[in-house]
Amino acid sequence: MKFLTLLAVFSLCVISVPHAFAQTGSSFQVHSMVSDGKKSKEVKSKLAFDSESFALNSNKAGVLSKSFNYADITAADYSHSKKPLLSTGGAVAMAILTGLIVLPFLFMKKKSHWLSVRTDDDYVVMKLDGDNYRQILAEFEVKNVNVTTVEEEEKKKGK
């Protein structure tokens, strides 16, 4: 009986361990910038990494679907921007309606993370979430895509 139990456990391990350590492609939720006439709009998309390429598929059917081979990428630029959490008008309206002191909110800033990827004949601009942008940048670095960080002009002049 012990032999059969050991054989069953060993067989289960032999079958399940390769599946547990198998490399599967990873995917992340991002916002893609899509042209809409003269303006651009954000569209929720899924960024999926594979061994040779990555794909960007919109959650809406037929809006955006692009695929890029890592070998074809000519440039990948990462940047971030800061904007106030509340506008001055929004802070005044909030103070009047709620009676709250909103002065601290005027000095708080919200960061947006951006990644643009270009090939010779196509490009994509993505707005990354604050909680996954480091993972996405690391995925590109692991795939041997050099991601250049673009700094603000004021910081460049100060250095």
pLDDT digits (tens, 9 = 90+) for 72-103: 999 999 988 766 555 555 555 555 556 555 55
Mean pLDDT: which of 22-26, 37-41, 110-114, 128-132 is highest? 128-132
What's the rounded Cα separation, in Å, for the pair 112 and 133?
Answer: 10
Instruction: Give the pLDDT of residue 136.
Output: 92
pLDDT of 21 over the 50 cut: no
Residue 9: both structure tokens together: 């456990």
pLDDT of 12 over the 70 cut: no
pLDDT digits (tens, 9 = 90+) for 35-58: 777 887 888 889 999 999 999 888
Q: Answer yes or no: are the C-beta atoms of 56 and 66 closer than 8 Å.
A: yes
Distances (CA, A) of 143 to 25, 109, 125, 138, 147: 12, 32, 19, 9, 11
Q: Is 53 exposed, middle or buried (0-12, 13-18, 19+ CB in 10 A)?
A: middle
Q: Answer yes or no: are the C-beta atoms of 43 and 32 closer than 8 Å.
A: yes
- Nearest 5 degrees, angle CA 48-CA 127-CA 30? 30
pLDDT of 125 over the 80 cut: yes
What's the rounded Cα separation, in Å, for the pair 16 and 151?
Answer: 46
Closest CA to 26 of 137, 110, 107: 137
Average pLDDT over residues 10-30: 60
